[in-house]
Homo-oligomer: A and B are copies of this chain.
């Protein structure tokens, strides 16, 4: 809560926290408008506005003449995503899915679909692009010479300071000198992997995982050890332990502990600590991808926050949280920091100043917390609405993860349905989705799809979901 927020938003934030924390469980009654007026010493219209905000965020529902009630957090018709059937990892192997991934991506783009349900990012309108652009205009007017000046090797100090402050949210204490600015989180992951592996080494990853990570491993000649991962609690540390014992060339684990992509899982703190302990015991580098963490409905700790030996390489970016059109990431590589600085400098030299300066000014203005609160609330609403649409349209037997934040839903289709076949059929009807085959080196996730709830729900999206439902039904009849 921010004292500069309007009063009704402050009141709403109070109850949103209580609802998210479970203090006010689904179905429980919201204090009446009159009670709110007394409790918070606000006017009738302020109390009403607070309730309406929570309603628009999908947290409350109004029942006629009975007032507001906490809304059930997920539609009931679709079953909760199942735990992985695999409990053990397959042996590590060289990644060979780039061609498939890139073929799917290229086809998806070329088809110019009317509705794009792939992607894992919020709609541009949900980002403060106008405020960022104003900072940019002012910078270019006052300091045009930044376009002619060589940037600082580690990145702009003002930005590194702001990012260190931002990292406090994840309970990480970082000195600005321990950060290097990179071209997005992808470059951070790229130099992290290069710092701790050699071609032919094995790297443990979540299964399913972000296809970009698979492409990166493939391009570096690394073998992927895919570890079974729960849609709710994330990477199975037990399965990792068992697999690590069998793989002498395992050098690193890459993990997205908060809002894993595509699952949306958040690892419990105990699991995060167990993973760190396991990496310590086996002398593995722990590469933590923090891309989505700031989109969690409630703040989560980073694994890096427990790191006392410099074993965690923390990689993040503002790409999903603040500005999808900008490529500013960062890396805090602990004991590998000197090596990472060398690799970043040799690979692409420092980032240019302009983008860094825009972000530094925005962050210094202190508006990010308010932006993030609004973004999280909107994404929560959109996830709910998308889940409802899926629940209305997809066949019985469909299961769904309801992640506690972020833009993505991970959908398990009934047995026997191929997401790749669905991808093809849907593309013909102007709808694009992310078929599960993109997220693993195996064929294990062919009956899964990733659906983006990052865009405000509208009629076109509802129709697209209905199209998917009809296609699934006809494929099941065949």
Contact = CB atoms under 8 A, between A and B. Distances in A.
A27 interface: no
Contact of A347 (B98, B190, B325, B358): B190
A244 to B, nearest CB: 25
Contacts of A221: 198
A219 B182 CA distance: 17
Contact of A133 (B147, B149, B347): B147
Most buried by B among A130, A148, A183, A352: A148
A327 B349 contact: yes
Interface string A333-347: 000000000110111
Contact of A137 (B130, B137, B183, B345): B137
Identical chains in the assembly: 2
A184 B187 CA distance: 14
Which of the four size classes fits the interface of chain A? Answer: 35 or more
Interface of A is mostly: helix
Nearest to A131: B144
Nearest to A127: B148
Give the most central of A121, A144, A345: most B CB within 10 Å.
Answer: A144
Given A148-B323, A150-B121, A326-B147, A348 B184 contact: yes
Given A102-B342, A215-B345, A347-B216, A325 B141 contact: no
A140 interface: yes
B148 A124 contact: yes
Nearest to A198: B199
A27 B183 CA distance: 53
Contacts of A183: 183, 348-349, 351
A102 B147 CA distance: 25
A310 interface: no
A368 interface: no
Interface string A128-149: 0110111011001100111111
A351 to B, nearest CB: 7
A24 interface: no
A299 interface: no
Nearest to A119: B150
A427 B140 CA distance: 34
B346 A218 contact: yes
Contacts of A136: 136-137, 140, 147, 354
A430 interface: no
B216 A147 contact: no
Contact of A327 (B194, B325, B351): B351
Contacts of A132: 144, 147
A375 to B, nearest CB: 12
A97 to B, nearest CB: 12
A324 interface: yes
A345 B255 CA distance: 20
A114 B132 CA distance: 35
A62 to B, nearest CB: 33
Nearest to A350: B327
A353 interface: yes
A190 B145 contact: no
Contacts of A385: none
A140 B133 contact: yes
A442 B473 CA distance: 70
28 contacts: A98-B342, A127-B147, A129-B148, A130-B144, A133-B140, A133-B147, A136-B140, A136-B147, A136-B354, A137-B140, A146-B325, A147-B326, A149-B325, A183-B351, A184-B348, A184-B349, A186-B349, A187-B347, A187-B349, A190-B346, A198-B221, A212-B349, A216-B346, A218-B346, A219-B343, A325-B353, A325-B354, A326-B354
